[in-house]
Amino acid sequence: MGTRVFVGGLSWSTTDLELRQAFAVCGTVLDAKVVTDRKTGRSRGFGFVTFENAQSAARAIEELGGTTLDRRTIRVDDADVRPRNELRPRNRR
């Protein structure tokens, strides 16, 4: 399954491929995804990277947190894995 990390502070122009390439220095990346707005398709400024193992994820948190990607300082943390039914309900108007 792999171990996911959260990446915050991404530039609006960062792509999935650029995210994958930046994090590949820490280990084998299984997936890299920049989260986009459903309506506009624009980046929301954060994403997730899934590594093959926990050691690579820990290395990414240690080595890449606080570094610069696309002229922006990024934040790298453990992704909070919660079952879908435990997510907070959204306020819909």
- The pLDDT of residue 45 is above 90: yes
Tokens 């990414």 belong to residue: 60
Q: Which domains does the chain have, with CATH numbers?
A: 3-78 (3.30.70.330)
pLDDT: which is higher, 42 or 86: 42
Whether pTM > 0.75 for this model: the answer is yes
- The pLDDT of residue 31 is above 90: yes
- The pLDDT of residue 83 is above 70: no
Do residues 29 and 51 lie in contact, with contact meaning Cβ atoms separated by under 8 Å? yes
What's the CA angle centered on 72, arms 14 and 13, to 5 degrees? 20
